[in-house]
Amino acid sequence: MSTATYTVTGMTCGHCVGSVQQEVGQVAGVTGVEVDLKTGRVTVTADGRIDDALIRDAVEEAGYEVKA
């Protein structure tokens, strides 16, 4: 099991949180997504290795950006 934390910019409401959770949750191997709207932190858990590029792509697909 792997865990990774990202900081996502641009989220302002519960709908934003849901969009990020939905997109990131569809990445192969991801077993959990927790989003803290106040801090912008997104914690991802997965069965195996977490592919940062796929997570970033999913966040962008939701309309937001992972802070570098």
Give the pTM. 0.94
Q: Is the pLDDT of residue 43 over 80?
A: yes
3-state secondary structure 6-49: EEEECCCCHHHHHHHHHHHHCCCCEEEEEEECCCCEEEEEECCC
CA distances 44 to 10, 13, 57, 67, Å, are 18, 19, 14, 15
What's the pLDDT score for residue 32?
98
What is the span of the domain harbouring residue 12? 2-66
Q: Is the pLDDT of residue 53 over 90?
A: yes
Distance CA(39)–CA(27), nearest Å, equals 23
Give 9-39 pLDDT, tens digit per residue: 999 999 999 999 999 999 999 999 999 999 9
CATH number at residue 54: 3.30.70.100
Query: How many domains does one find in the chain?
Result: 1
Could you give the maximum distance between any two Cα atoms of the chain, in Å?
Answer: 31
